Chain A
Amino acid sequence: MPAVQETVERVKAIDVDQYKYGFETIIETDKAPKGLSEEIVRFISAKKGEPAWMTEWRLDAYQRWLTMREPKWARVDYPPIDYQDAYYYAAPKRLAGPETLDDVDPEILKTYEKLGIPLREQEILAGVKTSRVAVDAVFDSVSVATTFKAELAKAGVIFCPISEAIREHPELVKKYLGSVVPVTDNFFATLNSAVFTDGSFVYVPPGVRCPMELSTYFRINERNTGQFERTLIIADKGSYVSYLEGCTAPQRDENQLHAAVVELIALDDAEIKYSTVQNWYPGDAQGRGGIFNFVTKRGDCRGARSKISWTQVETGSAITWKYPSCILRGDGSSGEFYSIAISNGRQQVDSGTKMIHLGKNTASRIISKGIAAGRSDNTYRGLVSAHRKASGARNFTNCDSLLIGDGCGAHTVPYIESKNASAVFEHEATTSKISDDQMFYCLQRGLSSEEAVALIVNGFVKDVLQQLPMEFAVEAQKLISISLEGSVG
C-alpha cells in the first residue's frame, strides 16, 4: 500500500467535518418546476426528446409508484420525505446538446478538474496515468460529457448517456431496460423508472474485450434536487467490461435524494466488473444534511458461465440503502460482492447483497467489511439462496465488522436459504475492535493514533481494496482514512 503515507498526510491536513468535495458550482440551471406529477414526467421525457414508447413506460411507472409505499425494513431512520418538495430535473443551461467539450460550460469543466476527473482526452493522455479511462460525466440530471467515444466505437463498444441510447439504440434499450430490475421492483426503483434523467449506457458486442476502463462520475450540484440516474450495461457473449462509478455532492444542510437504478446483463461467457466509490456528502457531525442514497443495483448472469462482480467502497451519504445483487441464472455463472462500508458521525448504512442461485453449478462469493465509528450505525444485510434446480451451487460469505469507539453500532443480518441438497453454503461473520495492544505496538513504532488507525483499517479492508482497479484503489484508500477522521480521541 504505497498510499498509506499520503493517506496519513491527507488525514492530518483536513479538519474534522471537512468534506473535500463540498463546494458548489455557480452556473445557470434549467429546472423543471418543483414537485412530481404526470406533467413533470412528461416534461422530463420531452426534454430528453424521447420517443413515445419511453414516455409511456415512464408514465406507467409513475402510476404504479403512486400505489406503493416506502420500504421500512432496513435499519435506517429518517424523517418523512416530501416527494413534492424537490426538483426532478435540473440541467446546466448552456447545454443544448454539446457537440464537443468546447461547448460545455467552463465552470463545469473546472468542477470536474477540481474533483480530479479530467474530461479532455488530450489532458488524460498527457497525464501521468498510464492506463486510460473513458468517462461519462453526469452533472445533476444530465450527462455533460463522454470521453473516448470515438475510440470505443472502433471496437464496437457503445458508451454514451442513456438518453442518447434511447434515441440512437432503441432496440437494445427496449430489450434490456427493466429486464433485471422490473419497473415495480421496489418503491425507489419505480420512482426512478418514472423520473430518471440520465446515466450511462454500455453495450459491449460479442467477443470484445473493452479496450479501456469505463467510468461515470456523478455530481449533484443543485439545491433541492434529487438525482435519479439509470445505468444499463450489456455485455454480449464472450465480452468483458470493467466499469467504475464515482459520486460526490456539495455540502448542504438539507437532505437530498439519490435513487439510482443500475442494471447489468451478462450473456454467455461474458464478464462485467462494476466498481463504485460512493462519496456523496455524508452530512455534518450532528447529522444535518447529507444525501439519502437509496439505490437498486442488480446484475443478471443471464448466460452460461457469465460473471458479474460488484466492488463497492461506501464512505459517503447520510443514509445508504443498497444491495448490489446477482441473479445467477446461467449454468456455471458466478457472482461476487466485495464491499467496504464505512460510517462515521451520524451516518446510517444498511447495505449488502443478494446472491440468487438459479442455475446449476453457480458460485458466489461475498466479502464485506463494515467499519463503524462515531455515532453511526452500520448494517450488513444479505441474502444467499439456492433454488430447487441450483444443483452444485456454492457460496462463501465473510462479513467482518470493526467498531471504533463505543457510540456506534455494527450489525449483521444474513439470510441463507437453501432448497437444494447439493448446494454448499458457508457463512462466517465476526465483530471486533482494534485491539489496544495492536494500537500500542504501532504507537511504539512512532505512528500517531490516527496514523495507526488508518494503517490497521487499511489492513482490515485489504481483501476488498485489492478488487478495485489500481487508480481507484489508491483513491479509495485515501477516502477511507479521511472518512474515519476524528474517530479516535
Chain B
Amino acid sequence: MLEIRNLVVDIEDKRILNGLDLTVNTGEVAAIMGPNGSGKSTLSYVIAGKEDYTVVDGEILLDGESILELEPFERAAKGVFLAFQYPLEIPGVGTMTFLKAALNAQRKARGEAELTTPDLMRRVKAAATKLAIDPEMLKRPLNVGFSGGEKKRMEILQMALLEPSLCILDETDSGLDIDALKIVADGVNALRAPDRSSLVITHYQRLLDYIVPDTVHVMANGRVVRSGGKELAIELEANGYADYRQQAA
C-alpha cells in the first residue's frame, strides 16, 4: 500500500508539489489526472527516487515504511516500478542483457535465486508474445531506434517480468495510436492482482476506457484537489480542467 502525506517537493528552488496527500490501497488501481504542469510526472519521479528533486516536507510510505531515504535501486527491489514517459536509450546494451541484469539484481536484493538464461528466455518470450513485441527487438540494444509505441510496450514488458508491487505508469498513453494503446492496456490489466497496486498517470480520460481505475484523483497546483470513483474521469472529459486551473491560480 502506498501512502503519501503532506508531500512538498522543490526542483531548483521552484515548488512543484505543495502538500500532496494520496493513499493507494493494496490491489487498487488509482488514476492521477490533471492539467499540464500540475506536478504529475514529478510525483512519479519522487516516488521512484530521482535525484534532482528536493523533498522539503512530508512522507512517502510503502507498506507502512518510509522509502524517502532509499536509493532508487533499493526502492525498485521493494517493488516500485516506474514506466517512463520517455524511456531511455542505452546504446550497445542488448535488451536481453538489460532485462537479465535488472531482474537478477532485484531477485538478489530480495534474497531470491537468480534466473538461469533459458528460464529468463522463456519468461521474456512469453511476455513479449502477449505484448506483440517482435522477438527481433529483443536482440537490439535497449530502446535504441525503437518507435514510441515499441518503447512503451518494452516498458510494460519489463513491468511484467519484474512483477512489482507498485506500478507507476507515467503518461504511458502519450504517443500511442489506438491499437498500441489497447495492447498496452491489456498488458497492464493482465498484471492486475490483489497484492499489486497501480498508479496510472494520464492527461486524457481515453486510457481509462481501457484501464478502468478503482479511484481517480485530480491534481492541480501540486496537490490532490479532488478524489472520487471512475465516474470522475468521465466528468473531467466532459468539462475539462478549467475549473481546477482557476482553483489552482
Contact = CB atoms under 8 A, between A and B. Distances in A.
Interface of A: 1-2, 4-5, 8, 435-438, 440-449, 451, 455-456, 458-463
Interface stretch (B17-25, B69-77, B181-189, B194-202): B69-77
Interface in B149-197: 158, 162
B112 interface: no
A167 B141 CA distance: 52
Contacts of B93: 1, 455-456, 458-459, 462
A397 to B, nearest CB: 18
Interface of B: 48-52, 71-73, 75-77, 80-82, 84, 87-94, 97-98, 100-106, 109, 114, 117, 141, 158, 162
B98 A455 contact: yes
A443 B76 contact: yes
B141 to A, nearest CB: 7
Interface residues of chain A: helix, strand, loop or mixed (majority): helix
Contacts of A435: 88
Contacts of A460: 91-92
A444 B82 contact: yes
Given A4-B97, A447-B105, A463 B72 contact: no
A451 B101 contact: yes
Nearest to B107: A446
Contacts of A458: 92-93
A456 B101 CA distance: 12
With most chain B CB atoms within 10 A of its CB, the pick from A5, A436, A437, A442 is A442
A436 B72 CA distance: 13
A463 B92 CA distance: 8
B92 A445 contact: no
Contacts of B158: 445
Nearest to B98: A455
Contacts of B100: 4-5
Nearest to B164: A446
A446 B76 contact: yes
Given A444-B76, A446-B105, A459-B91, 9 more contacts: A1-B97, A5-B101, A449-B73, A451-B105, A455-B90, A459-B90, A459-B141, A462-B93, A462-B141
Nearest first, the 9 closest Cβ-Cβ pairs linking A and B are A459-B92, A459-B93, A462-B92, A443-B72, A446-B76, A445-B102, A446-B106, A441-B88, A446-B105
A233 B173 CA distance: 60
Nearest to B45: A440
Given A440-B51, A443-B76, A4 B101 contact: yes
Contacts of B102: 442, 445-447
Contacts of B104: 5
B162 A445 contact: yes
A459 B88 CA distance: 14
A447 B101 CA distance: 7
Contact of A443 (B71, B91, B117): B71
A459 B93 CA distance: 4
Contacts of A444: 48-49, 72-73, 75-76, 80-82, 84
Contacts of B49: 443-444
A41 to B, nearest CB: 48
